[in-house]
Amino acid sequence: MLKFTKQGIYCPRADVYIDPWEPVQNAIVTHGHSDHARWGMGKYLCHIHTVPVLRLRLGADIAIQGLEYGEAVHRNGVRISLHPAGHIIGSAQVRLEYKGEVWVVSGDYKLVHDGVSVPFEALRCHHFVTESTFALPVYRFPDPTLVFSEINRWWAQNAAEGFNTVLLAYALGKSQTILQHLETETGRVFLHGAVANVNAALEGMGYQFPGERIATETDRSSLKGAIVVAPPSALGSPWLRRFSPYRIASCSGWMQLRGARRRRGVDRGFVLSDHADWEQLNQAVSATAAETVYVTHGYEAPFARWLREHKDLQAHEVHLQGAEVMEDDL
Amino acid sequence: MKRFAELFVAIDQTTKTNEKVAAIVRYLADSDDRSSLYAIALLIGNRPRRPVKTSDLKAWATSAAGIPDWLFEESYHIVGDLAEAIALMLPPNLLSEHDYRLPDVIVQLAELPEQTDEQKREIITGYWQHLSRDERFIFTKLITGNFRMGVSRQLVIKALSIHLGMDETTVAHRLMGKWIPAAETMVSLFAEPEQGSRDFQPYPFYLAYQLDGSLESLGNIHDWYIEKKLDGIRGQLIVRNGQLYVWSRGEDLLTNKFPEFGPLADALPDGTVIDGEIIPWSDGRPLSFQVMQTRIGRKNLSQKSLREAPLVMVCYDLLEWKGEDIREMPMHYRRNLLETLLSSPLRHTALLLSETMPFDNWGEVALFRREARNFHCEGVMLKRKDSAYGSGRRRGNWWKWKTDPLTADGVLIYAQSGHGRRANLYTDYTFAVWDDAGTLVPFAKAYSGLTDKEIAELDAWIKRNTVDRFGPVRSVTPHHVFEIAFEGIQQSSRHKSGVALRFPRILRWRRDKKADEANTKADLLQLIDAVNG
């Protein structure tokens, strides 16, 4: 029912693309990260909580329809519904059913709860299209609650030693997860404009996160002992100078590897991911009971081979063009 | 082990040197003597011999992790470090409060070679089960070697100097050579050695930075000794109590590798320590570094290899004379003694004097340095005549000034994700030149030389312009040209292009050049003639 084309994952019967990277008429967007949500589609279909994000990022005038999780639309006999992926706020797996055949496109997902997004829902299907960002056995992420307390402890220690704290986290997703778990009695929380913009967009959906937007007139003395949440692109930019003296950390699944940590040139690397690790990916694939698995976005080749040779599944690697540049992986 | 793991994490987590030093000082303050000694040994790279084969280690880890070999290899490639890959791949450890003591672990590892393979496996996998992830990493690192902890030797010396209340130069000296932690105490290691108890111990090497200021800023040229910078192995030759010791700068004891120096035990007076360059030499000039490498790589020295690569030491400094440490004396004093020593009839043919070159002005030095290859050297050394022999890498009194590297323009044809780096980031490149048939033949692999920004840009381009994939390697559209720098070039039958380069790296991205403007194989062969001719 689905085809992997130059423009994206395509359902000919419903004439709809999932996360296309070239302009098409009908697009279903799994979530708001820029490697999945692109500009120039005729119509967008996504989860209702992704609507304000796409409007913020792609323009207020886009033609867009939001669905609740589990709510279905029908296109030429194909039943299409969105289901929680647990990746970030509004992230969805796409389920397509036609004459009893069920496909599920995972988008990006994780199984552990982050306390912000609706937890992943395991869906039974015949064909499962899975991401594989961290599909190697060296990626076994620690329990995020432990990571949150590490972050809080580090912040408190920095404040006690006279340092401000800067956390680099992607503006959509990771930032909200972190903000949600900060122990705000330690000090004030400041936000980079990109993070504040996303928070503001989500406010309309009833989300509320701590933190004040940094403005040019923000008094430097108010930053003392504070924490600042900024996107990874802030690293090495003059924007950071006003926070001196500070210690800076990167929050990402890639921080699992020492080389990546050192390469970033940050003081600390917190292993915090909005993707599934090796265990979770295997668990998710099993839970679908799918006979055929298509592996995209990451370690396609090894994960597909693993599923073929050790899980007895028909697994194929799919190289999606445009899937190479992951926005949230720094 | 838990405290040492904490120390490791503390050092690893900060990029600031004073925080690293503080972490070491804290560790030393809270540790018993024995743990401190073993920790110091590890911190400065004085580690036990590898007790098990890497292939065994891999096999045990693979089976403990419950994954196939190929997946192990794939993951290892991404991580880039075997110990880290194993630590991450193993299933979560059994909860255990037991703390293994670092010295006990190292002693047990040292005894491992005498055990059967089955016993080895049991011991190592037993540790894996009980150690936390950080401890596992360190434990496995102890086995695989390459234990670099993210601190320079200088920082360890600094921390010890604070901890012991001793000056850094003395601490540096006491740490030299392959001392054995089991045979020392903190007192015995750092106290003034008794006469004859540490004959083997070399002095810390004095190292120079590359000259970065102008020559004129060095002042009067006649205040300086100017010598050729040779491309051999920096070494220290010690004769004490009728015994000879030859140390490399990496603190490997190489006495047995260099039988040429054997007679010096008798020919040199007791209490002599010479600093110099060990280099293959014939007909009054050095042979190429490749000759040296082949020679060093040999386990057993045949008459043939002794004949083909006869070694000398080109001596440039005298550190100890008649048992007296003369490093604090000015260099002209040390050099006078050295010249007298080497000009005596007792002089052995394996010892040559590093000649100083009588330049009258800095312009002549610059000219010589530019043409250094024609004079069989890689540049010049500049040493202030009244300088003491320092310890470690210092600025001011000694400078090296290497000649510019050779260069060639190559086309990027393959890319591979880097070791120990982010998964999908392509950072290891293969470059090619054109052969006569108009085909691109690979001639250099290079990993470094681009900025992070350039790497990111190139990475994105590689992903969009992949022609083919072979495992982790991608071939890309031949398009981008890079200027590759290297220190030497030789003919080689092992390489498709017919040439082998020494220390290739990327000098810059030649965005102004098209692929067909890159160099050719013929250009490289010509270069070989020009350089080695």
**Residue B246 β-bridge partners:** B237
B33 lies in some domain = yes
Contacts of A258 in chain B (CB under 8 A): 12, 81, 84, 420
- pLDDT greater than 90 at residue B344: no
A327 lies in some domain = no
Query: pLDDT confidence of B453, banded at 50, 70, 90?
Result: confident
CA A307 to each of CA A276, A278, A296, A304, B228: distance values in angstroms, whole numbers, following the listed order? 16, 12, 13, 5, 61
- pLDDT greater than 60 at residue A323: no
Q: Which of A270, A289, A308 is the last residue of a domain?
A: A270
Same domain, A233 and A88: no
Give the pLDDT confidence score for residue A219 in this predicted structure. 77
Same domain, A246 and A286: no
Count of domains for chain A: 2
- pLDDT greater than 50 at residue A19: yes
Same domain, A132 and A156: no
- Tell how strand B233-240 and strand B243-248 pair up: antiparallel
Same domain, A84 and A198: no
Count of domains for chain B: 3
- pLDDT greater than 80 at residue A85: yes
Same domain, A12 and A131: yes
Which residue of B lies nearest to A297 if distances are taken between CA atoms?
A: B424
Q: Which of A254, A270, A286 is the last residue of a domain?
A: A270
Q: Is the pTM of this model over 0.80?
A: no
Same domain, A151 and A265: yes
Question: B304-322 pLDDT, tens per residue?
Answer: 888 888 899 999 999 999 9
B25: domain CATH number is 1.10.3260.10
Give the pLDDT confidence score for residue B195 in this predicted structure. 73
Q: Is the CB of residue B75 less than 8 Å away from at least one CB of chain A? A: yes
In single-letter form, the type of residue at position B478 comes to P
A324 lies in some domain = no
**Residues B392 and B206 sit within 8 Å (Cβ to Cβ):** yes
Alpha helices in B165-214 (DSSP H): 168-174, 186-190
Q: Is the CB of residue B266 less than 8 Å away from at least one CB of chain A? A: no
Q: Which of A270, A286, A308 is the last residue of a domain?
A: A270
CA B313 to each of CA A208, B275, B524: distance values in angstroms, whole numbers, following the listed order? 73, 9, 32
Which residue of A lies nearest to B69 if distances are taken between CA atoms?
A: A306
CB contact under 8 A, B421 and A260: yes
- pLDDT greater than 80 at residue B244: yes
B370 lies in some domain = yes
Question: B139-183 pLDDT, tens per residue?
Answer: 998 888 766 777 888 899 999 999 999 998 889 999 988 788 988
Same domain, B221 and B358: yes
What domain range is A250 assigned to? 144-270
**Residue B505 β-bridge partners:** B485
B114 lies in some domain = yes
B170 lies in some domain = no
B197 lies in some domain = no
CA–CA min distance B477, chain A (Å): 16
Distance between CA atoms of residues A88 and A174, nearest Å: 8
What domain range is B121 assigned to? 2-144
Same domain, B375 and B415: no
Q: Is the CB of residue B93 less than 8 Å away from at least one CB of chain A? A: no
Same domain, A232 and A204: yes
Q: Is the CB of residue A298 less than 8 Å away from at least one CB of chain B? A: yes
Q: What is the DSSP string of A91-102?
A: -EEEEEEETTEE
Contacts of A254 in chain B (CB under 8 A): 422-423
A156 lies in some domain = yes
CB contact under 8 A, A138 and B421: no
Tokens representing A72 are 């279905």
B45 lies in some domain = yes
Long-range contacts of B15-19 (CB under 8 A, 24+ apart): B15/A265, B15/A267, B16/A267, B17/B155
Same domain, A134 and A151: no
Distance between CA atoms of residues B415 and B170, nearest Å: 48
Residues 6+ apart with CB under 8 A from B164: B171, B186, B190
Give the pLDDT confidence score for residue A329 in this predicted structure. 41
Same domain, B83 and B108: yes
**Residue B440 β-bridge partners:** B434
Give the pLDDT confidence score for residue B150 in this predicted structure. 76
Same domain, B269 and B215: yes
Give the pLDDT confidence score for residue B533 in this predicted structure. 58
Q: Which of B381, B402, B423 is the last residue of a domain?
A: B402
Same domain, A130 and A206: no
B437 lies in some domain = yes
Which residue of B lies nearest to A304 if distances are taken between CA atoms?
A: B71
Same domain, B278 and B347: yes
Q: Looking at the partner chain, which of B71, B88, B422 has a beta carbon nearest the beta carbon of A260?
A: B422
Q: What is the mean pLDDT of residues B50-63?
A: 92
Counted residue by residue, chain A has a size of 330
Distance between CA atoms of residues A221 and A255, nearest Å: 31
B422 lies in some domain = yes
Contacts of B92 in chain A (CB under 8 A): 140
CA–CA min distance A326, chain B (Å): 10
Same domain, B462 and B327: no
Side by side, the strands of the sheet bearing A268-270 are: A212-213, A189-191, A227-230, A164-168, A246-251, A268-270
Average pLDDT taken over every residue of chain B: 89
A172: domain CATH number is 3.40.50.10890
**Residues B197 and B54 sit within 8 Å (Cβ to Cβ):** no
Which DSSP category does B493 fall into? S
**Residues B426 and B463 sit within 8 Å (Cβ to Cβ):** yes
Give the pLDDT confidence score for residue A136 in this predicted structure. 95
CB contact under 8 A, A259 and B419: yes
A322 lies in some domain = no
Alpha helices in B344-499 (DSSP H): 362-370, 452-464
Same domain, B485 and B513: yes
Q: Which of B144, B169, B184 is the last residue of a domain?
A: B144
**Residues B484 and B399 sit within 8 Å (Cβ to Cβ):** no
Question: B398-417 pLDDT, tens per residue?
Answer: 999 999 999 999 999 999 87
Same domain, B229 and B351: yes
Same domain, A7 and A126: yes
Q: Which of B379, B402, B425 is the last residue of a domain?
A: B402
Give the pLDDT confidence score for residue A20 in this predicted structure. 94
B502: domain CATH number is 2.40.50.140
A28: domain CATH number is 3.60.15.10
- pLDDT greater than 60 at residue B419: no
A255 lies in some domain = yes
Same domain, A153 and A241: yes
Give the pLDDT confidence score for residue B422 in this predicted structure. 47
Same domain, A36 and A105: yes
Which residue of A lies nearest to B66 if distances are taken between CA atoms?
A: A137
A257 lies in some domain = yes
CA B261 to each of CA B288, B310, B334: distance values in angstroms, whole numbers, following the listed order? 20, 11, 22
B245: domain CATH number is 3.30.470.30
A241 lies in some domain = yes
